[in-house]
Amino acid sequence: MIFFLISVLAGILTVLAPCILPLLPIIIGSSETKRHRVSRRSLVVIGSLSVSVVLFTLLLKASTLLIDIPQTFWNMFSGTIIVLVGLAIVFPSLWSRIPFVQKLSNLSNKAIGTGYQKKNYSGDALIGLALGPVFTTCSPTYLFIIATILPAGFVAGIIYLLGFTFGLAISLFLIAYFGGQLVNKITSHMGAVGSVKQIFGVLIILVGVAILTGYDKKLQTAILDSGYGATINFEESLIERFAPKTESALEKSSSVNIPGNLKRAFSKTEWSFVNPNIEKALSGGPGKDGIPSIDNPRFLPIDTFKHPDTVQAIVLKDGEDIKVYPYNILIWHEIVNDTVAGVPVAVTFCPLCGSAIVYDRRVEGETLTFGVSGFLLESNLIMFDRVHESLWQQSTGRVLAGRDLNIELSLAPFQLMTMGEVKKMYQNALVLSEDTGHRRDYGSNPYSGYEDSEGYVFPPSREDLRYPSKTIFVVFRFEGNIVGAPYLVFSDGTTFETNVERENITFMRSGDLFTITDSKGRELPFYFEMWFSFITQHGEKAIIFNPSN
């Protein structure tokens, strides 16, 4: 009973969630300026939306057909219908003259535009049905219902789903009520009902265009990035305390206590394979894809870069070209999925532990695309792949959950340079464009001062005082060993030799280039990471050298 009440409350709170806020003009815009407290149009939209939520959920669980339909289809479906309804409100007479709409009207009297003119409410019903898939994507309670309760207990799942939908309907009813009063007040002062309706029609068109273009997701991300996420956190705390424990919701590996919010966020992950370290995973704030990876990077000439030359960058050789990924962009996206010299790579950067790593994305015959999970392990980024939704630790390149734990991503070679050094050495280099498809202030650093302070956002479970916690280490793998050395001790012209597994290893810095080679002269790929993260992730297994000693 108590989780039914939580489901009702979750439905009510859903309208305050970041993914719903941009859609509320549709509910308000369906209000009429008449004596009715809540217009019939609003009731039709709310009723059909509620039906759509239930039907869409049941179809999603009962059939694998919907699983294979990409999210872009639902965006196109919902966005197109919303735009058409908005046009019907703004241009009713023009709409009625469109031959295609006239034919539909003559055949069935259910055309969207005609519905608005003759008040048969078919347009309202259609827009409610179209919104169903959109209104069910950002409530942790809803996701918990479809991922765990429905498969394990169908009857209980239906009850909780109906409770969630009832709560959603209540909140939308209240919004329609107060929205209607607002519209009445505006029109009473303006004396122009048609003008107000057209204004809402334009808002509805803008919402539809945002869904079509994916801009609604960018707005949601901006809301989350601003720190707004209270309703989501509140729901998760209630689920942790009161959610019914079903067999499918329990850990398949009973000895590992997987964080509940992580498991809910990744319901498609195969939790039979779990690294025990995942018990320490914490939410970093933004949810899954809340920090959006760049999956289709664009590049511009290096002279278009307008930020200080002191900005650091990851530099890769792409055949005859040089590709540059500056930190001022990476700090906002953390992962760039790209192909360099014919090799699919993931250019990754975790601001909280200073780890800049490039990985080969090819794993067991598959090419993976990585996203940001929103979770951290000892302050380190947890990535997920979009093929299996397996979880990967950025620092180690190893699987944390979802597949064979022995799989390890291969390192790809790169250089770490300042933009000034890049401009001096590679005048024809190409730099990652700030036209990423996301709104970010690439001239500011949300972590400003962090690397120079002694504090942490998420304190590590252990501290090793041999080096200041945020000293940058250069790290490489060799013969199953993980080896690190403080990077800044390698000044220009420095050469340092040591032995790993009886093999001679040479560190050398010449000008702005840094190399690590084995006894046969082969270059070993390396990466960079703050000391506290390096030693926390690798512990006593790490081999440490200091050329200055």
pLDDT per residue as tens digits for the range 369-397: 999 999 999 999 999 999 889 999 999 99
Return the SS3 of 408.
Answer: strand
Q: What is the mean pLDDT of residues 414-429?
A: 96
Mean pLDDT for 21-49 is: 65
Do residue 350 and residue 411 come from a single domain?
yes
Check residue 36 and give its pLDDT: 52
| Beta carbons within 10 angstroms of residue 437's beta carbon | 14
Judge if 208 and 301 occupy the same domain.
no
Does residue 188 sit in the same domain as residue 326? Answer: no
How far apart, in Å, are the Cα atoms of 494 and each of 318, 473, 490? 27, 16, 6
Which amino acid is located at 284 in the chain?
G
- Does one domain contain both 30 and 101? yes
63 shares a domain with 200: yes
Terminal C-alpha separation, the chain: 66
Mean pLDDT across the stretch 225-254? 57
**Rounded mean pLDDT of 468-476?**
95
**CB-CB contact of 511 with 418 (8 Å):** no
pLDDT band with cut points at 50, 70 and 90 for residue 48: confident
Residue 238 lies in a domain: no
For the stretch 70-84, pLDDT in tens is 555 656 766 776 677
Mean pLDDT for 13-38 is: 60
Whole-number Å distance between alpha carbons of 548 and 488: 10
pLDDT value of position 439: 82
257 found inside a domain: no
Asked, for residue 233, whether it belongs to a domain, the answer is: no
Tell the residue number behind the tokens 């850990």, with chain if given: 251
The residue range of the domain holding 371 is 276-432
Q: How confident is the model at residue 172 (pLDDT cuts 50, 70, 90)?
A: confident
Q: Are residues 221 and 291 in the same domain?
A: no
pLDDT single digits (tens) 522-544: 999 999 999 999 999 888 889 99
Question: What is the three-class DSSP state of 407?
Answer: coil
Residue 440 lies in a domain: no
Residues 286 and 156 placed together within one structural domain of the fold: no
Please report the pLDDT score of residue 111 as a whole number.
39
The pLDDT score that the predictor gives to residue 330 is 97
DSSP alpha helix (H) spans, 134-153: 140-144, 150-152
pLDDT in tens, 298-327: 999 999 999 999 999 999 999 999 999 999
pLDDT score of 96: 53
Query: Domain end: 200, 225, 250, which one?
Result: 225
Q: Are residues 151 and 16 part of one domain?
A: yes
Residue 236 CB neighbour total at 10 angstroms = 20
Same domain, 425 and 505: no
Q: Is 280 a member of any domain?
A: yes
pLDDT of residue 195: 65
Total structural domains in the chain? 3
For residues 422 and 469, membership in a common domain is answered with no
Q: Which residues contact 444 (CB under 8 A, 6 or more apart)?
A: none
Report the pLDDT value the prediction gives residue 484, as an integer from 0 to 100.
94
Alpha carbons 210 and 124: distance in angstroms, whole number:
19
- Residue 30 banded pLDDT, cuts 50, 70, 90: low
Residue type, 462: R
With respect to residue 348, please indicate whether it lies within any of the assigned structural domains: yes
Band of pLDDT at residue 152, cut at 50, 70 and 90: low
Residues 71 and 212 in one domain: yes
Is residue 536, in this structure, part of any structural domain at all?
A: yes
Let me know if residue 167 belongs to a domain. yes
Residue 434 or residue 198, greater confidence:
434
Do 315 and 180 reside in the same domain of the chain?
Answer: no
